[in-house]
Amino acid sequence: MELLDGIHRIDAEVGGRPLYLFLFLRERTILLDAGCAPSVEEFVLPYLAGLGLGPEDLDLLVITHPDLDHQGGVHELASASPGLTVACGALDRELVSDPDLLVERRYGGFRADHGIGYDDETTAWLREMSGSARPVDRVFSGGEELDEFRVLHVPGHSPGHIALLDTRTGALFSGDCVQGSVYLGLDGTPKLCPTYTDVEPYLATLDLIEELAPAELHGCHWPAARGEGVQAFLDESRAYVERIDALAQDCFAEAPGGLTLRALIEGVNDRLDRPWEPAALAQELVYSLHGHAERLAEHAGRDAEGHVVYRARDGL
């Protein structure tokens, strides 16, 4: 659909959840995010064809952050459009360029120290959806002007996450930099918890967006927010972080000897008004709770299986 003059939303999906990619027809033809590897053939190319365009008409592909549903289609699009420039945030360049590193470091990054990871079948799916390697041509650090857009550095979900602010309309295209309190599926049911990874940068990103006060907020998995709805979504996002932080503190207070990350996940999940089931969904709390553990606690050795034990810092 055409959201604003020259700005289109391409409706895709990932794992039963909505996935929105954004096409900007301004001085240049810019696509924000590439979806999963199959998304190019299933969603992007048909949408372009409906506008009388082909992949060769794309000038710039901007990847908001390294996740399979945002970078997975990079290689397919670049192969179909040899002149395409691929860009992302400077701090995310490695993982956007190399899907093997993405699977190893982002999706498998908690296995060695915490014994938490995906099973072989899920890992194979993650790798398939992540596509093939394609070097990034250009990086942004935030503050750059791109046609009528301002590039924002909005970390918290990833170190180099970027978003685009349309200076003409005041609309912010935010990727996954602000996540509310839940990812809902296409059927309207909860599918995934927020997956920010670094608490303080995420809160700073919420503050930045609040200060900018965009007229519209367009994320990649949530309905568009407009007017007062923008502030409401920011408030919901901040309240979720504060709630998870408080629950993590409660868990540490009841375990003076310390907790592994797995035990913290179980403790927080049990305290949620609606615990995540099955265990595979609860495990997705690992991304945010690792950030909260690093914020609230210190490493206090390892357990018998070699997993890091966290103990609350003095004065918590």
Per-residue pLDDT of the chain (316 residues), as tens digits, is 899 999 999 999 999 999 999 999 999 999 999 999 999 999 999 999 999 999 999 999 999 999 999 999 999 999 999 899 999 999 999 999 999 999 999 999 999 999 999 999 999 999 999 999 999 999 999 999 999 999 999 999 999 999 999 999 999 999 999 999 999 999 999 999 999 999 999 999 999 999 999 999 999 999 999 999 999 999 999 999 999 999 999 999 999 999 999 999 999 999 999 999 999 999 999 999 999 999 999 999 999 999 999 999 876 6
Please list the alpha-helical segments (H only) found in the chain: 39, 45-50, 68-71, 74-80, 93-97, 99-101, 111-114, 120-129, 199-212, 228-253, 261-271, 279-282, 286-296
- CA distances, 23 to each of 4, 110, 136, 246 (Å): 11, 35, 19, 39
Instruction: Return residue ranges of the chain for CATH 3.60.15.10.
Output: 2-238
* Per-residue confidence (pLDDT) for residue 314, from 0 to 100: 78
pTM, full prediction: 0.97
CATH topology of domain 2-238: Metallo-beta-lactamase; Chain A (3.60.15)
* Per-residue confidence (pLDDT) for residue 272, from 0 to 100: 98
Burial class (CB in 10 A: 0-12, 13-18, 19+), 218: buried
* Per-residue confidence (pLDDT) for residue 316, from 0 to 100: 63
